[in-house]
């Protein structure tokens, strides 16, 4: 999920510019045997956020004992503070209970066909001196089998790289961006190699590998990012040519020639309209309009393109969404923001506790995004489950009737024309 600093984030307008630079008639891009036909079928998926890479806003109970001190803000400081033995005990319990086979079955029953599973480099290629603990892969192995049994496909997403590729807490380590320094890129390639080799025999289920989540292009050497993407694609497809490759757009506005020379490549763009004062200040109808505006641009790209993260949220009210201890732009409690509305009922709680207006607006917004994003390859909603963030919790949104069932059902038809 996109991080918090407004200056580091892009608006929907910039995203449209990105897509306009790669416009062309969609082509048949598949050359090898991937176990999902991304040309003929839509990806309808959900992220399993907060499972193998901690995020305080998804599971605030894990971070609650540090809510006053703000000394533990991510998985790095969590494991460093607890020490390996205690961190391993707590995280093994989390990994084995937060998402289970029942979740995979429920995802399939909701009509979805994919899950995107974030994983950190430390799970597959731990570095000496890091405080992180391991054991995630034993549970991930089970998850692949759960997906197989439920009829779901899996995208494995390297969500955190050595040094942090964006400085966001969801990279594992909040703060400085040190990826591309020292050996961090080669260490990331090692993580991809280990991940691909581990699951090269499971390409009936694991159809795609995302090389890196949200590298912060404006703060990185983009030539180096493109070189990493080229080497990473070769690394993963050397393990199995049956893997499709997902490349995050790195918040760039010109990706013509993006992924050139790589078979079965897809662009991943993330769509949030809440991480700047102007975006979070939009009216519900403006949120819908901006979402719909993306559809034709997606439809005209000449590569597979996924909206790999998006939300029903029109506010950034969810507790700790902007970082542990930080407020929200929506109610003006985040630095350099202005008041738009009250976060009451949206900061913590359930879908059932939302106002009738909020429910209607969220349903309308979700429907518009579904209509827009299915104009090309498809989408992954962020996220399947949270402890208390009602605008973001797909499981709760489904139960509350705000996420369409079936997925093609519409209470607000024709919003995107």
User: Which are the contacts of 184, defined by CB distance < 8 A and separation ≥ 6?
Assistant: 161, 162, 163, 178
Helix (H, G, I), strand (E, B) or coil at 390: coil
Q: Of the listed 214, 279, 374, 391, which one is catalytic? A: 214
DSSP symbols for 216-284: -GGGS-HHHHHHHHHHHHHHHHHH-TT-EEEEE-TT-S--TTTTTT-TTEEEEEEE-S-SSHHHHTS-H
**Rg of the chain taking only CA atoms, in angstroms:** 20
Indicate if 309 belongs to the active site.
yes
Cis, peptide link before residue 383, omega less than 30° from 0: yes
Indicate if 214 belongs to the active site.
yes
DSSP classification of residue 110: T
DSSP symbols for 281-311: TS-HHHHHHHHHHHHHHHHTBSSEEEEEEE-
Q: Which residue matches tokens 């079936």?
A: 406
Find, among 291, 277, 350, the residue nearest to 318 by Cα. Answer: 350
CA 43 to chain centre: 14
The rounded distance, in Å, linking the Cα atoms of 96 and 140 is: 10
Please give the helix or strand (H or E) that residue 19 lies within, else none.
Answer: helix 12-20
Q: How far apart are the first and last CA of the chain?
A: 29
Q: Of the listed 309, 367, 374, 391, which one is catalytic? A: 309
Q: What's the Cα-to-Cα distance from 88 to each of 31, 92, 162, 177, 332, rounded to whole Å?
A: 42, 6, 20, 26, 38
Tell me which residues are annotated as active site.
214, 309
């Amino acid at each position: 999920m996109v991080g918090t600093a407004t200056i580091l984030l892009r608006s929907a307008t910039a995203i449209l510019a990105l897509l306009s630079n790669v416009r062309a008639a969609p082509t048949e891009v598949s050359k090898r045997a991937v176990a999902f036909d991304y040309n003929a079928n839509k990806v309808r998926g959900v992220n399993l956020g907060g499972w193998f890479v901690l995020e305080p806003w998804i599971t605030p109970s894990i971070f609650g004992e540090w809510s006053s001190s703000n000394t533990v803000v991510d998985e790095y400081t969590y494991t460093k503070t607890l020490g390996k033995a205690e961190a391993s005990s707590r995280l093994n319990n989390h990994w084995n209970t937060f998402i289970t086979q029942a979740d995979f079955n429920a995802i399939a029953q909701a009509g979805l066909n994919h899950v995107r599973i974030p994983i950190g480099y430390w799970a597959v290629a731990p570095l000496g001196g890091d405080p992180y603990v391991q054991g995630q892969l034993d549970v991930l192995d089970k998850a692949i089998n759960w997906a197989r049994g439920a009829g779901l496909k899996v995208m494995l997403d390297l969500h955190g790289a050595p040094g942090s590729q964006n400085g966001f807490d969801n990279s594992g380590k909040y703060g400085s961006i040190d990826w591309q320094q020292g050996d961090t890129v080669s260490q990331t390639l090692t993580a991809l190699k280990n991940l691909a080799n581990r699951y090269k025999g499971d390409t009936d289920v694991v159809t795609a590998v995302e090389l890196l989540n949200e590298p912060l292009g404006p703060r990185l050497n983009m030539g180096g990012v493109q070189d990493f993407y080229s080497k990473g694609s070769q690394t993963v497809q050397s393990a199995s040519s049956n893997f499709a490759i997902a490349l995050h757009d790195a918040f760039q506005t010109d990706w013509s020639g993006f992924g050139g020379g790589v078979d079965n490549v897809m662009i991943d763009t993330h769509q949030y309209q809440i991480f700047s004062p102007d975006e979070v200040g939009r009216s519900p109808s403006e949120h819908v309009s901006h979402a719909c505006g993306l559809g034709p641009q997606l439809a005209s790209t000449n590569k597979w393109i996924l909206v790999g993260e998006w939300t029903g949220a029109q506010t950034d009210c969810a507790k700790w969404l902007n970082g542990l201890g930080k407020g929200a732009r929506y109610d003006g409690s985040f630095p350099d923001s202005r008041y738009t509305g009250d976060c009451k009922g949206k900061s913590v709680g359930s879908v059932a506790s939302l106002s009738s207006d909020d429910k209607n607006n969220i349903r309308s917004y979700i429907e518009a995004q579904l209509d827009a994003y299915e104009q090309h390859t498809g989408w992954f909603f962020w996220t399947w489950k949270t402890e208390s963030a009602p605008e973001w919790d797909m499981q709760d949104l489904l139960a509350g009737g705000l996420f369409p069932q079936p997925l093609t059902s519409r209470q607000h038809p024709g919003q995107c024309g």
